Amino acid sequence: MTEVVTPLKRLALEILQKANELDQYFRESGAPAPSLDKEGDDNRHVDTPENVKSARIALLNLSSEMKELLTDPMDSIAFLGMTVS
């Protein structure tokens, strides 16, 4: 039986793949990994290789697609100015 891959699962798998690529780069290079710490390195993307920059941009785009997929039109009205943590 062939498993049906829904858009949700497809995006999740692609996000995981790109996150793994970035994680591998940070672990192997010793470069500072992304962090929500306000004291983090603001220049961490300046000297990264092109394949890492591409993976980062792809991950940002996929994350936007995921948000779009999961956002109901009423969410924009109901949660205007609010974020989910």
Q: Can you give the residue ranges of every domain in the chain?
A: 1-30
Tell me the C-alpha to C-alpha distance, in Å, between residue 9 and each of 15, 23, 63.
10, 21, 13
Q: What confidence score (pLDDT) does residue 35 get?
A: 81
pLDDT tens series, the chain, 85 aa: 788 889 999 999 999 999 999 999 999 998 888 888 777 666 566 678 999 999 999 999 999 999 999 988 776 665 556 655 5
Q: What confidence score (pLDDT) does residue 37 get?
A: 79
What is the three-state SS of the chain?
Answer: CCCCCCHHHHHHHHHHHHHHHHHHHHHHHCCCCCCCCCCCCCCCCCCCCHHHHHHHHHHHHHHHHHHHHHCCHHHHHHCCCCCCC
Q: What confidence score (pLDDT) does residue 81 get?
A: 60
